[in-house]
Amino acid sequence: MLSRQVADKLAKYETPFYLYDIELLNQTLESLMSIANRYSYKIHYAIKANYDARLLQIIRKYGVGIDCASGNEVRCAIEAGFDPKSIVYAGVGKRDKEIRYAIEQNIFAINCESIEEIDLVNDLAAEAGKVVNIALRVNPDIDPKTNHCIDTGQADSKFGISYEEILSSVEHIRSLKNVLVIGMHIHIGSQIRELHVFENMCNKVNVIVENLTNLGFELEFVDVGGGLGVNYDMPENEPIPNFASVFAIIKQHLKVGDREVHFEFGRSIVAQCGELITKVLYNKTTATGRRLVIVDGSMTELIRPALYGSYHNIENITSEADQRLKYTIVGTACESTDVFDENVSLPLTKRGDLITIKSAGAYGMSMASRYNQHDLPGAVYSDEL
Ligand code: LLP
């Protein structure tokens, strides 16, 4: 929990804003990279989780590459100084101009998600007079045991190419002159807390890689995506995700010879270092007896609770009252689902108190919108307080 001293320092900033704990981000990256380097695993940061320039600057210093989901994300990564050769680019709906840009920038690999996309990359690469490295994003048909809104690798999902479709297109893909399949990519979902799911994933990947190799693809790398979850319930108990456990599982179960193994972690790198600081505007009680606290943040700054029913731990960081009450914390947006949480036990809360919504560093700011013409939230960094 933020100390009273820090809370006092926050009073001068206009709420709502994201507060980033720079020390925690550094510790998280140190933990991640020290283990990844031991195994020679390559890490790409999924920039969709948070593209804050200051955070990117820190992430870049650790020798991490980038995973992108759009042409603008590729541009953002390159402008932030990441080596194009460390960038992978996935996405089910890449526009022609985005593919052209990725080809122009000579990124490490375009992870293709349909046969038609492979054809288009081939045509655009021919136009540019290049042979472009691609990876096949295979849909592995795995239930990642996470919130259904954020799974990405079940058979019916829009992501990746079904294994059957790849099999029936092998000859065609191999006949294309301007793309070279150098990798295989999967991503099964996000916020995965049941680590045995990664074991199932390895077993699937082993079979797919072996089969693709037998079919004549010379795969240099296997990209197993991101997905490692964080502790939203009790962030203080687990500020740094357990990278060691997931790498140990991968090391034990992934059998892909001397191919490079790549990961694309987003949430696990930045979720816990960010929190949304809001201020209480009003208190009121509904006719049904529900005690509402209306804060000056909303789903336009942090959409996860409204969109996925996600839980974020909430605290009042300025009230010193002994009495605790149960509150429903709601935002300012003109939407009934704009509720951060219900039945939150907080010390007696009044207008002007600061309320923090924790574990919001991933998919918080990057999903912010200007609905109701709200201003986008600012950012405050712990080392600049
Ligand atoms: N790679 C690919 C291809 C992905 O689709 C994703 C996330 C990642 C990497 C990063 O996964 P992570 O390590 O962050 O789990 N907005 C949602 C999460 C959507 C995740 C989509 N894909 C949320 O707020 O929970």
Picking from 291, 298, 273, 295, the residue whose alpha carbon sits closest to that of residue 345 is 291
pLDDT in tens, 249-306: 999 999 999 999 999 999 999 999 999 999 999 999 999 999 999 999 999 999 999 9
Whether 7 and 317 have beta carbons less than 8 Å apart is answered as yes
Residues paired with residue 328 on neighbouring β-strands, in sequence order: 292
* Pocket residue to mutate for ligand 1, from 43, 94, 247, 264, most atoms within 8 A of Cβ: 264
Please give the single-letter amino acid code of residue 84.
P
Q: What is the pLDDT of residue 384?
A: 95
Q: Is the model more confident about 150 or about 187?
A: 187
- Ligand 1 geometric centre to CA of 66 (Å): 13
Return the DSSP state at 366.
Answer: G
Whether 64 and 43 have beta carbons less than 8 Å apart is answered as yes
Residues paired with residue 262 on neighbouring β-strands, in sequence order: 42, 223
| pLDDT category of residue 153 using cuts at 50, 70 and 90 | confident
By three-state DSSP, how is residue 83 classified?
coil
**Chain mean pLDDT for the chain:** 96
Q: Which of 101-110, 191-200, 257-266, 361-370 has the lowest mean pLDDT?
A: 191-200
- Report the atom number in ligand 1 closest to the C-alpha of 185: 3
What is the percentage of the chain residues whose pLDDT exceeds 70? 100
Whether 192 and 228 have beta carbons less than 8 Å apart is answered as yes
Whether 185 and 225 have beta carbons less than 8 Å apart is answered as yes
**Is it the case that residue 1 has pLDDT exceeding 80?**
no
Q: What is the pLDDT of residue 363?
A: 98
| Whole-angstrom distance, CA of residue 215 vs CA of residue 138 | 15
51-68 average pLDDT score: 98
Burial classification of residue 286, based on how many CB atoms lie within 10 Å of its CB (0-12 exposed, 13-18 middle, 19 or more buried): exposed
- Ligand 1 geometric centre to CA of 271 (Å): 12
| pLDDT category of residue 147 using cuts at 50, 70 and 90 | confident
What is the percentage of the chain residues whose pLDDT exceeds 90? 93
Q: What is the pLDDT of residue 155?
A: 85
22-45 average pLDDT score: 98
Q: What is the pLDDT of residue 129?
A: 98
Burial code of 257-266, b = ≥16 C-beta within 10 A, e = fewer?
A: eebebbbbbb
- Ligand 1 geometric centre to CA of 152 (Å): 9
Task: State the CB neighbour count (10 A cutoff) for residue 4.
Answer: 11
Q: What is the pLDDT of residue 112?
A: 98
Pocket, ligand 1, Cβ cutoff 6 A: 46, 49, 67, 90, 150, 152, 187, 190-191, 225-228, 264-268, 304, 308, 362-363
Structural domains in the chain?
A: 4-17+272-384 (2.40.37.10), 22-270 (3.20.20.10)
DSSP 225-238: ---B---SS-GGG-
pLDDT in tens, 315-364: 999 999 999 999 999 999 999 999 999 999 999 999 999 999 999 999 99
| pLDDT category of residue 4 using cuts at 50, 70 and 90 | confident
Residues paired with residue 325 on neighbouring β-strands, in sequence order: 346
Task: State the CB neighbour count (10 A cutoff) for residue 155.
Answer: 13
161-166 average pLDDT score: 93
Q: Which of 162-171, 265-274, 367-376 has the lowest mean pLDDT?
A: 162-171
pTM over 0.95: yes
Please give the single-letter amino acid code of residue 75.
R
Burial classification of residue 323, based on how many CB atoms lie within 10 Å of its CB (0-12 exposed, 13-18 middle, 19 or more buried): exposed
86-114 average pLDDT score: 98
In order of 173, 196, 258, the CA distances from 264 in angstroms are: 25, 18, 19
**Is it the case that residue 152 has pLDDT exceeding 90?**
no
Q: What is the pLDDT of residue 232?
A: 98
